[in-house]
Structure 1
Amino acid sequence: MSDFPSSKYERGKIIAKTGLKVGTNYAQRYLKNKVSGKVEDERSFHQENAKEVFKEFTKLRGTALKIAQGMSMDQGILPDEFAEVMSQAQYSVPPINKALIRSIIKRELGGYPEQLFATFDATAFAAASIGQVHKAELKDGRRVAIKIQYPNVRDTIDSDLVMAKGFAKRLVKKGSNIDPYFDEIRDTLLLETDYLHEGQQIEHFSKRFTHINVVTPQWIEEYSTSKVLCMTFLDGRHLNEFIAENPTQEQRNHFGQLLWDFFHEQIIDHDYIHADTHPGNFLFMNDGRLGVIDFGCVKKFPVKFFRDYLELLPTHLKNDDAAIRSLFERLEVLKQNSSDGDTDQPYFEFAKNYGLTFSRPYTQEVFDFGDPEFDNTIRHFTKDAPLSNEPRGNKHFIYTTKVHVGLYNLLIKLKAQINTEKSKNILSKLLDISF
């Protein structure tokens, strides 16, 4: 019993149909504007096409909606209207039917919701790419959130990635090895569909972050399985709801600082990193704490790679081209001995300047992420990235970039002013440098 297509053929058909329809829409609009000499309202056009993509991806859930989440964090490649529509994939996907939810709980926990819980709200209050979340109350009075995984999501990961890899191989240079990148994504997605692993990570992060104003749920193991996750309920607002309240600059700075500090606290002891930095995974709580509510996508990066990744900051701040080039070669952004020719020079210049932009907050005691010039600079680099038919960068960049770009995206939307002193002290000790 399932609401979703699970075969490779069914899913491929939906993806192909969606791509053809949206592509045709853009081609027809281009020709119409050329003939008439008029430019129609771009905002509504982009929104309607984004809604079409989102509607079809919603049928597929899983990997497809993970792609939609990535679109929602875009910093310049796609029209802003696409990112706005795709942000729904972070926490407000249409839920599956209530009868199916009852059957999943019965199969996984051995009883129907009314038998297991004092109360259970059959209407989901949040839904995203892999599962949806319901409010409930345990018989001992604790308020909990029950996350229920959509049927067949885990089974479709391989078929979805096979399709995606097939498309990618048509675009990349013949002989390029893209397998490590897809293996990294596959391994991470499989872990995200293991709710027992997520429960263990909730416990792990809860113990690590008791000393700062960051709070996580508590895992309720006895009401959890690999496909049902029970955790204590956190009450707060997501980013868009918080911004809609027209918060003061002080409130924006407060939560922005917590996000910034949470990111830097994670790297102190080379432990797991929360690698899904998008608005749906954070709550702005009324008591001033920052809630972190999803721990499906966590990463522990190899020591050598992570050290090199962190070294990007001081190396860029020194603005030493030779040292930057050497580091890029170690991180596989550039080919080894790339200085022997000029083939890689466009990538070197782009990566260096992009790195300089990302290092700017560390050059000031207080950095204003609300400065539109900074936002425009990041968007400029994203749009002007040199095209390549070769995969570049170590496979672990997939998730370090997701963390770092996601953080900056959140802070830009918050228009937060961040004190960087504490973060620079952390990095100084880790890298034995001074700012």
Structure 2
Amino acid sequence: MFLTQTVSRQRDIAEVVFRNGWGYMRGLLTGGSAENPQLPTPAVLRKIFIELGPVYVKLGQLLSTRPDLLPASYIEELSTLQSSVPPVSWGDIEVVLRQELKQPLEEVFGFVNPQAIAAGSIAQTHRAKLIDGREVALKVQRPGIEAIIEQDIFLIRGLAELVDRTEIGQAYDIKSLAEEFTKALRDELDFILEASYTKQLRENMSTSRWFDPAKLVIPEVYWDLTTRKLLVLEWLDGESLLTANFTQKNGVSPQEERREITRLLFRAFIQQLYVDGFFHADPHPGNFFYLKDGRVALLDCGLVGRLDPRSQRILTEMILAIVDMDAQRCTQLTLQLADSAKPDNLANLEVSYERMLRKYYNLTLSKISFAQVFYEVLQIARENRIRLPSNMGLYAKTVANLEGSARIFDPEVNLLDEIKPLMTDLFQRQLLGDSPLQTLLRTALDIKSLSLESPRQIELLLDRVTSESLKWNLAIKDFDGLRRSLDVSANRLSFSIVVGSLIIGAAIISSQGQTSQFSVLSNALFGVASFLGLWLIISILRSGRLRS
């Protein structure tokens, strides 16, 4: 149905796809079928997204957070996608501001810079000063962007329905992925959500036993001015970490300061990932600012991820299993994480882990990229048709971005080296929780309940065993097939015995009998035995049991 609607936009998309020579997609857009569909090369796919416009650039950026779906080469290429759009004129932005504010613009702001300091596909940012003198950053939604996104969402869903008819579409549940991406696109239109994420991260990072919270800042949200289309944040005066100029001060060298900042960021994200379960999912270099007062700011909290306590525990154990090069444990933990059923061949999964970890046997921790290792974990799961939760892709991408940013800022740093001193504390927390006394009391109650119920349960079990009322329900895989094979074998054996008996009987009669009647009977028995024996041989040959 979608082919008959939004014709002009569809024509634009088809033109871009045809120009880039994507035969498979051409077949889908024209209603044809595509056998053995293949993705275009990473560079071609990136070019297609750029030519399709800002919404598809955003889609490409979202796809780059899913290394559980795409190979590393695609993730790396799509990660470089940036929205290159000119800012909207101040007149159009002023209209949006006046519509969103409850008071006249002049009564709220003493000054608003009409020149945008940043422009993206969905919004652009202006520097402003409140009437009371406080400096703020205004993130204003681009006029008309909602209609554009809704139109492209309609097309994305239509394409997903077509791809879903293919084998690859069903294997990856393309329709569900399309729904997931369209929800993410709509969420980016709601700045109230981004404000709530910023507020929660700010609260979570305000306390820590692993780093000094005073050295890390997340901008404050001005809730009284924030709406779905306008986000007002505290202005933080600084510059990107990568361009900041570090000098010797207070006896601390620039290299030592870089190492301290790197350790601060690593520990902050370790807390977000493995303690809070709520993390900033886009830690690329542009989102880290070095402020003039020496603090580090974490910006742009629009993309976040979540991990439940069970996933946190499994991922923490996965780190330990990777460090210990334990392929069997990696296999078990992957299956615990999986949404889908177990693979048909567990041995293949374990062999894949053995092969992967063997590459790192003789390397020190400082030479191992944990992000690369976890990307390979996701690839192994994908090759063995194990579907992991979508947040695993976001987790892996976050770790990769964090490690990549840190290596650019401080090339000698290593994530595993920074995690190792915290492992004991991390495992202790997961074992005992935030309140060891409360955990101990809860465990004591569980033991008490078990001790009270166990005697009664044992009594019931013994009673059923002695009264012969105990039944065992066993489900043996392929047992019916085994039973049928045994039945066929038993029937053939019985048939062979009957044929042999006929032959022996005919031979005895032939040797003893002198009359013509005995001779006829003997010949008849030989004939029947020969016919039945030939039929048995043919049936065995037709079943293929004699083939090697």
The two structures have a TM-score, normalised by structure 1, of 0.72
Equivalents in 1 of 2:335, 2:163: separation in Å? 23
Q: Alpha-carbon deviations, 1:71-107, whole Å to 9, x = none?
A: 6999961598x57963x44xx6432232221121122
Please tell me whether residue 226 in structure 1 is matched to residue 228 in structure 2: yes
Selected match of 1:327 from 333, 347, 354: 333
Please tell me whether residue 17 in structure 1 is matched to residue 15 in structure 2: yes
- In the TM superposition, what are the counterparts of 1:233-272 in structure 2 within 5 Å? 233-242=235-244, 248-267=254-273, 269-272=275-278
Look up the match of 2:194.
198
Look up the match of 2:133.
141
AA at the equivalent of 1:266: Q
Look up the match of 1:3.
none
318-327 or 178-187: bigger deviation: 178-187
Look up the match of 2:310.
304
Instruction: Tell me the CA shift for residue 316 of structure 1.
Output: 2.2
Please tell me whether residue 172 in structure 1 is matched to residue 164 in structure 2: no
Look up the match of 2:58.
65
Look up the match of 1:424.
423
Q: Alpha-carbon deviations, 1:217-274, whole Å to 9, x = none?
A: 11111211011100111122235434999x9433432332222111112145434222
AA at the equivalent of 2:320: P
Look up the match of 1:162.
157
Partner SS state of residue 17, structure 1: helix
AA at the equivalent of 1:259: L
Equivalents in 1 of 2:49, 2:245: separation in Å? 24
Seen in structure 2, the aligned counterparts of structure 1 residues 156 and 315 have a Cα distance that, compared at 3 Å, is: farther
Equivalents in 2 of 1:253, 1:326: separation in Å? 36
Contact 1:114–1:120, Cα closer than 8 Å, also in 2:
no
Contact 1:239–1:284, Cα closer than 8 Å, also in 2:
yes
AA at the equivalent of 2:226: S
Instruction: Tell me the CA shift for residue 336 of structure 1.
Output: 0.7
AA at the equivalent of 2:292: N
Look up the match of 2:532.
none
Q: Alpha-carbon deviations, 1:23-77, whole Å to 9, x = none?
A: 48xxxxxxxxxxxxxxxxxxxxx99x899657535x433x532514766999961
Contact 1:66–1:129, Cα closer than 8 Å, also in 2:
no
Seen in structure 2, the aligned counterparts of structure 1 residues 196 and 377 have a Cα distance that, compared at 3 Å, is: closer
Please tell me whether residue 396 in structure 1 is matched to residue 391 in structure 2: yes
AA at the equivalent of 2:428: K
Equivalents in 2 of 1:12, 1:254: separation in Å? 51
AA at the equivalent of 2:93: I
Seen in structure 2, the aligned counterparts of structure 1 residues 379 and 271 have a Cα distance that, compared at 3 Å, is: closer
Equivalents in 1 of 2:11, 2:138: separation in Å? 33
Higher normalized contact order (CA 8 Å, seq sep 6+, divided by chain length)? 1
AA at the equivalent of 1:315: A
- In the TM superposition, what are the counterparts of 1:5-154 in structure 2 within 5 Å? 9-23=7-21, 56-57=51-52, 59-61=53-55, 63-68=56-61, 77=73, 86=81, 88-89=82-83, 93-110=85-102, 113-114=105-106, 116-150=108-142, 151-153=144-146
Please tell me whether residue 278 in structure 1 is matched to residue 284 in structure 2: yes
AA at the equivalent of 2:91: A
Equivalents in 2 of 1:416, 1:13: separation in Å? 50
Instruction: Tell me the CA shift for residue 303 of structure 1.
Output: 3.1
AA at the equivalent of 1:423: L
Q: Alpha-carbon deviations, 1:91-149, whole Å to 9, x = none?
A: x6432232221121122224664453111112211123432111000001010001112
Equivalents in 2 of 1:72, 1:306: separation in Å? 19
Equivalents in 2 of 1:224, 1:341: separation in Å? 55
Equivalents in 2 of 1:9, 1:332: separation in Å? 40
Seen in structure 2, the aligned counterparts of structure 1 residues 295 and 332 have a Cα distance that, compared at 3 Å, is: same
AA at the equivalent of 2:239: R
AA at the equivalent of 2:396: T
Q: Which runs of 5+ in 2 are unaligned?
A: 23-41, 208-212, 248-252, 433-548
Instruction: Tell me the CA shift for residue 155 of structure 1.
Output: 3.0
Equivalents in 2 of 1:239, 1:14: separation in Å? 40
AA at the equivalent of 1:56: E
AA at the equivalent of 2:255: Q
Instruction: Tell me the CA shift for residue 308 of structure 1.
Output: 2.2
Instruction: Tell me the CA shift for residue 407 of structure 1.
Output: 1.2
Equivalents in 2 of 1:171, 1:184: separation in Å? 20
AA at the equivalent of 1:220: Y
Seen in structure 2, the aligned counterparts of structure 1 residues 234 and 347 have a Cα distance that, compared at 3 Å, is: farther
Contact 1:256–1:411, Cα closer than 8 Å, also in 2:
yes
AA at the equivalent of 1:255: I
Please tell me whether residue 405 in structure 1 is matched to residue 400 in structure 2: yes
Contact 1:171–1:389, Cα closer than 8 Å, also in 2:
no
AA at the equivalent of 1:142: R
Equivalents in 2 of 1:410, 1:313: separation in Å? 20
Seen in structure 2, the aligned counterparts of structure 1 residues 236 and 137 have a Cα distance that, compared at 3 Å, is: same
Equivalents in 2 of 1:386, 1:268: separation in Å? 22
Q: Alpha-carbon deviations, 1:321-371, whole Å to 9, x = none?
A: 3222121122228851544564x5676557x549x97x999x75xx4xxx6
C-alpha root-mean-square deviation of aligned residues, in Å? 4.4
Seen in structure 2, the aligned counterparts of structure 1 residues 180 and 199 have a Cα distance that, compared at 3 Å, is: same
Instruction: Tell me the CA shift for residue 306 of structure 1.
Output: 3.4
Contact 1:65–1:128, Cα closer than 8 Å, also in 2:
no
330-339 or 393-402: bigger deviation: 330-339
AA at the equivalent of 1:162: R
Partner SS state of residue 221, structure 1: coil
- In the TM superposition, what are the counterparts of 1:356-395 in structure 2 within 5 Å? 364=365, 367=366, 374=369, 392-395=387-390
Please tell me whether residue 288 in structure 1 is matched to residue 294 in structure 2: yes
236-245 or 294-303: bigger deviation: 236-245
